[in-house]
A and B are shown apart, each in its own frame.
Chain A
Amino acid sequence: MSAPEHLHALESEAIHIMREVAAELERPVLMFSGGKDSIVLLRLAEKAFRPGPFPFPVLHVDTGHNFPEVLEYRDRRVQELGEKLIVAKVQDTIDAGRAHDEWDPRKPGSSRNRLQTITLLDALEEHRFDAAFGGARRDEERARAKERVFSFRDELGQWDPRAQRPELWNLYNGRIRRGEHVRVFPISNWTELDVWRYIEREELELPSIYFAHPREVFQHDGMLLAVSEHVDPGRAERETASVRYRTVGDMTITGAVRSDAADIPTVVAEIAATRVTERGETRADDRTSEAAMEDRKRMGYF
C-alpha cells in the first residue's frame, strides 16, 4: 500500500469536516466570495454530499465593489450546482443606517472591508445560521496559525483566542449555545500552492481575473490597483499592464501582480517560485499593522 498523497489526505480531511458540521449543527451556510479558496470549498461540498443536495445554502457578502467577472462566475457556478444563493449587501447595511461608508473613490486604499463584518453578522442572525464555512487557511497570516478548524464566536461574532477548544484527533466538538455560531475552516491545513494544485487536479474553472489579462492599473502604496468606477487614481500614473490576481477581494483594495501566466499550470509554476506571501503582496487591509488580522478577527472578520 502506498502512502496517502498529501493533496488526497487534505481533501479527505476537509470532506470529513464538512460532513461533521452538516451532521452536528442545525443551520450551516457556506461563505462564498468567488475566490479560489471558496471555489475549492464548493468542490469539496460536492465530494461530501453528492448525489444528494448540499445541506446548506451559499452566502455571498456583496460590498458593491466586487470584480464583475467574479459576480458573473458566482451566479453561473451556483446555478450549475442547483443550490441556493443568498446575497447580503453591504449597501443595504449602509442604507439602513447600520454603518457609515468608509469608502471614498478618490481615496485609493479606502474600502468597505470593515463594514462587511456587520453585514455578515446581520445575515447570520437573520437566517439564524449557526455555522459558517469559510475558506481561510492557517498559512495566510501569523495570527491564523492558531485558529482552530472550528472557531467559536460569541453572540457578537467575536473571537477570543484564549477561549478556543482543543481539537483532538478528528473529533470536532460543535456544541454551541443559542445565539452563538461557529466559523468552520475545512481547508485550514492547505497552503496557497495546495489550493492551486487542487484546482489543477480537479480541473476547476476560475473567474478570469486569476489569469493574465490586460488591465489599466496604477501604483498605490506598493500595490497595483485597478482603475475602476470604485477607485479613482487621481494624479497617479496609469498604465495598461498584463496582470493577474492572486486573491479576490474588493476592487478597492486588491492588488494585481504583473504576470503573463494565462493558464493554471503557468500560474502554479509562478506561485511555486514566488517569494512573497499572498496577503503581503495583494491585500492592503492586512498591512496596516502587525496585529491587524488579530484585531479584525476579534471583531468578527472572516
Chain B
Amino acid sequence: MPGTRQLMRLATAGSVDDGKSTLIGRLLLDAKLLLEDTLDAMHRAGTNGTPDLAAITDGLRAEREQGITIDVAYRYFTTPNRSFIIADTPGHERYTRNMVTGASTAHLAVILIDARNGIIEQSRRHTAISSLLGIRHLVAAVNKMDLVDWDEGRFREIESEFGSLAERLGVEDAHAIPISALKGDNVVERGDAAWYDGPPLLEHLEQVDVASDRGAGPLRLPVQWVIRPEDGGRGERRYAGQMAGGTLRPGDEVVVLPGGSHTTVTAIEQLDEQLESAAPPDSIAVQIADDLDVGRGDLIARVEDAPAGGRELETTLCWLATAPLRPGDRFTLKHTTRTVRATVDSIEALLDVATLERVDPPAELQLNDIARVVLRTSADLYADPYDQNRTTGAFILIDDHTNDTVAAGLVREVRPGEAHSHRSPDVTWHESGLERKERWARLGTHGATFWLTGLPASGKSTIAARLERRLVEAGRPAYLLDGDNVRHGLSGDLGFSPGDRRENIRRVAHVARLMADSGAVAIVSLVSPSARDRALARELHEAARVPFIEVYVDTPVEVCAQRDPKGLYARARAGEVRDFTGISAPYDAPENPEILVHGAEEDVDAAAARLLEELEKHGPERGSPAFD
C-alpha cells in the first residue's frame, strides 16, 4: 500500500576503495530504480560494456576529476514498502565532518568493509561516529567477498569483530552481510554462497524497525513561529512548531519554558484540520487557553517531565572548522529554535574517534576532532541528553565573523551554572589608554546612569523621554534605554521569567555603564521589579565608579491601571496575562532611591527638572568620585 510507505533515512560510510559508490549504484540498478537516461550515462562512463556503477553517485565535477566523493550526497529510492533517503558520506578521516552531517538524521548506517582488509581504523571510526550520533541500527556490508573466494571463515571473523565493536559502543542492532557490489551478490538478489542464510542488504533495509517508538518519551514542542491571524481572521494566535518528542493531545496541561507559565493546549491544527494528537515529526500549530507571552525559542513541555534548564552544558562537540577551537572562544549557539550566546569554558577530554575513549585534553581542538567540552550560555537552555532525544539534545555553534556552522554539539548534561560567571579567566579588561577623566574633560561632558523603576504605566518612560530631550537640547549626549525597545534586539531572546528578567537587567546595566563611561547620560526605563536585580545594576556601576541615580516613579496601581495605554492591566485582571507586575507578580519598592517621583501628582517637566538637578550633583565640578 503506497499510502502507508515508511520513510527511512540511511547513511552510508566507507571510502571509494571499499566500493561504496559501486554498492549504491548496484542497489539502484538491481532494484530497477534507475531510469534509462541515467543508465545510459552509467554505460557511457564504463568500459568494455560494463557499466560504471559509481558514475551514478559521483556528482560534482571536482569529484569526478579526482575520483573521490568529497561531500555528502543525497540519493532517493523507493521500494513497495519504503522510501529511502541515502546520505552518502565520504570515508576519509578528513571528512569526518561530512560523516557527522550524514549521520545526524539517519535511522540506520551501512558501513562498508573490504573483506580483504577486514575491520580497519576507518571502519571503527565510522561505527563509533554512527553510535555517537544516535544511530541505533548498523549494517556492516562486507564487500568484495568475490575477491576472498567467498571464504565463510573470513566473513565470520569480520562479523564477530563487528558485533563486539557495536556492543562495546552500545548499539544493539548490528548485522553483517557478505556482498559483492560489483557482481551484485546479496545486494538486491541473493548471492551464490550457500552458507549465508540471512537476507540480502535491500531486504534487510526493508525489514528494520525504525519507527516503533514514535510518540514515546516526554513531550517536547519547540515554538518556531507565532501565527497571528490578520484582523478579521479566525481569532486566536497559534504557536507553530515541529514535534520533537512525546505525544500532544488537546486538553493537555503544559508548561511554557523558560517563562514557566502553565496553560492548557486547547487545539492542535494544521491548516483547516483539527488533530486528535501530534507526535514527531509532525509540524503543527497549537492554541492555548491563556494569553501568555509565548514566542520563538520557547519550549512547550509537560510539567512532570519538563527538562531542567541551565547555563552550563556538558557536551560532546564535533569540531567542523579549520580554525582551532580554544577555551574562552565565543559563539552563537542554536538549539531547537532558540539562539543564545555560548562561551567555551573548558576542553575536558579529546575522544579517540575510533573507540570513543577519552584521551588527555589538548589545548585546542582541530578540524574533525571530537571532544568533551563544557560550554556556558548567556541564557537558560532547556535541553535533554542527546541519548534521550536527538532533537532537543542537539545544537550547532555558529561563528559570528564567518557565519559558518563550526561545530555539531551533543548535550550530555545541563547544569544550572552561575548566571554571572561566563567570563573566562583568560579574558581581561582591555584598557584603551585613555582615562575617563581625560575623556570626559576633553569632551566637556560627564557620564551617569539614571535608572527609572516603577510599575507598568507609572510614567517612567514619559519622564525618561523628557529628560533625554532636555539633555540633548542642552548639548549633552544622552540616550534612552527603554525596556520595551531593548527586548527587540539586545534581549530579544529573553522572556519574562525571574531568571530572564534578571538577565535582561544585567545586560541593560552593562550597556548603561559602558555608555556612561563613554561620557553619555544613559537613561534606563525598566519596570525592574526585583530589589535584588536593581542592586546588581547599582553594584556594577559603583564598582566602575560611574554615577548611578535610581529614580522611583511611585504611582498608585489604580492610577496606572486607569492609564493602561496598552490595555495590559485589564487583561492581567482578567487573568489573560500572567506574571504581570503589580497584579499577579510582586514589585519591590526601592527603600532609598536617589529620587522619588510621585507619578500621580508631579508634572513631567518638574520631575525632569529635578532629575537634571540631581545629575549636576554628580558632575565633575562637584568632586564626583569618578574624578578622584
Contacts and interface: CB of A to CB of B under 8 A. Distances in A.
B20 interface: no
A210 B413 CA distance: 54
A97 interface: no
A13 B271 contact: no
A195 B59 CA distance: 23
A19 B75 contact: no
Contacts of B247: 1
B216 interface: yes
Interface in A1-45: 1-6, 8-13, 15-16, 19-20, 22-23
B173 to A, nearest CB: 16
Interface string A267-301: 00000001111001100000000110010000000
B214 to A, nearest CB: 4
A8 to B, nearest CB: 8
Interface stretch (A87-95, A165-173, A240-248): A165-173
B229 A3 contact: no
Contacts of B270: 47
A22 B101 CA distance: 24
A43 B229 CA distance: 18
Contacts of B59: 142-146
A154 interface: no
A298 to B, nearest CB: 10
A192 B4 CA distance: 18
Contacts of A162: 62, 70
A171 B336 CA distance: 7
Interface in B27-57: 35-38, 41, 56-57
Interface stretch (A49-57, A64-72, A119-127, A225-233): A49-57
A50 B238 CA distance: 9
B5 interface: yes
Contacts of A12: 242, 281-283
Contacts of A10: 7
A146 B73 contact: yes
A176 interface: yes
A74 interface: no
Contact of B73 (A5, A145, A167): A145
Given A53-B230, A169-B394, A189-B76, A3 B283 contact: no
Given A143-B60, A276-B35, A49 B398 contact: no
Interface size, B (range): 35 or more
A81 interface: no
A145 B97 contact: no
A268 B549 CA distance: 73
Given A6-B6, A12-B282, A280-B37, A171 B210 contact: no
A62 interface: no
B175 interface: no
Contacts, number: 185
Nearest to B404: A165
B230 A168 contact: no
Interface in B379-402: 390-391, 394-396, 398
A175 interface: yes
Interface size, A (range): 35 or more
B74 A171 contact: no
A16 B271 contact: no
B242 A52 contact: no
Contacts of B211: 2-4
A166 B101 contact: yes
B296 A171 contact: no
B140 to A, nearest CB: 25
A284 B271 CA distance: 38
Interface string B566-598: 000000000000000000000000000000000
Interface of B: 2-7, 35-38, 41, 56-57, 59-62, 70-76, 78, 82-83, 85, 88, 97-98, 100-101, 104-105, 210-216, 224-225, 227-230, 233-234, 238, 240-242, 247, 270-272, 279-283, 296, 320, 332, 334-337, 390-391, 394-396, 398, 403-405, 408
30 contacts: A1-B212, A1-B215, A3-B211, A6-B82, A12-B282, A19-B225, A19-B240, A46-B271, A47-B270, A49-B227, A50-B227, A51-B227, A51-B233, A51-B234, A138-B76, A142-B59, A143-B60, A146-B73, A161-B60, A162-B70, A166-B72, A167-B405, A168-B104, A169-B394, A171-B335, A189-B74, A274-B35, A275-B36, A276-B36, A280-B36
Given A167-B405, A189-B74, A281-B37, 4 more contacts: A23-B224, A168-B408, A188-B74, A275-B36
Interface of A: 1-6, 8-13, 15-16, 19-20, 22-23, 46-53, 138-139, 142-146, 161-162, 164-171, 173, 175-177, 188-189, 191, 193-194, 197, 274-277, 280-281, 290-291, 294
Nearest 9 interchain pairs by C-beta: A3-B211, A280-B37, A6-B7, A15-B283, A175-B403, A6-B83, A145-B73, A12-B283, A52-B227
